[in-house]
Chains A and B, each alone.
Chain A
Amino acid sequence: EADIYQTPRYLVIGTGKKITLECSQTMGHDKMYWYQQDPGMELHLIHYSYGVNSTEKGDLSSESTVSRIRTEHFPLTLESARPSHTSQYLCATRGTSGGALTGELFFGEGSRLTVL
């Protein structure tokens, strides 16, 4: 069973607030990802990381930023939240086997953000 945790699970905040969504994992995986998902819609990659001090933007442009100071943590920050940021944010990791990437992703339960 995957050990990847996201907090908070639900967050309702006002416009202009700074928020940080936490993602932590205990599997020691180097590869981590943030996806954005609107209700009933597909997932869009917004950030990924190959390892410590490595972060890249994903396919979907996002005003959020990420950091990877430690292998276990991959927090996502919005400096000034807006209603257009209302969505579900899913964190995931990808492991390796024998030095090669395995295919599957392990997901957290998501953080549902509502900006009023």
Chain B
Amino acid sequence: AQSVTQLDSHVSVSEGTPVLLRCNYSSSYSPSLFWYVQHPNKGLQLLLKYTSAATLVKGINGFEAEFKKSETSFHLTKPSAHMSDAAEYFCVVSWYSSASKIIFGSGTRLSIRP
């Protein structure tokens, strides 16, 4: 069965320190993996995506993620947090073969301390 798990519901870091948001997936097929960010009262914005090319994916706003097949993980990182990074982050898995098979993680709320 396909699933996606975000291991932390809430992460709090100090401004200027590294960010790590963890995501694990379970899939019988080759998935595409995405990270989205959602600011309050907004829709979801794509941060980055993995679609079977390079395993280290760079996204917008300094974020990047590494696809590790052996660990079935796709963790999101950023070297130095900024106050504007405070938001909800969703890890998403989808499959090219199915129009409706898109699975969202439960979300991780990132807080940034001054």
Q: Is B13 an interface residue (CB 8 A)?
A: no
Kindly identify which residue among A6, A56, A103 contacts B32, using a CB–CB cutoff of 8 Å: A103
Q: A103-B32, A104-B49, A107-B44 are in contact. Are A56 and B100 (CB under 8 A)?
A: yes
Q: In the bound complex, what is the Cα–Cα distance between A87 and B55 (angstroms)? A: 37
Partner pick for B99 among A43, A50, A107, A110, CB 8 A cutoff = A50
Task: Please give the number of chain A residues whose Cβ is less than 8 angstroms from any Cβ of chain B in the complex.
Answer: 27
Compute how far the CA of A108 lies from the CA of B41 in the bound complex, rounded to whole angstroms.
11
Tell me the total A-B contact number using a CB cutoff of 8 A. Answer: 65
A43 to B36, CA, bound (A): 12
The answer, yes or no, to whether A72 is at the interface (CB within 8 Å) is no
Once bound together, how far apart are the Cα atoms of A91 and B11, in whole Å? 27
- CB nearest to A30 among chain B residues: B99
A30 to B26, CA, bound (A): 28
A-B contact pairs, 5 of them (CB 8 A): A42-B107, A43-B90, A43-B104, A100-B96, A103-B95
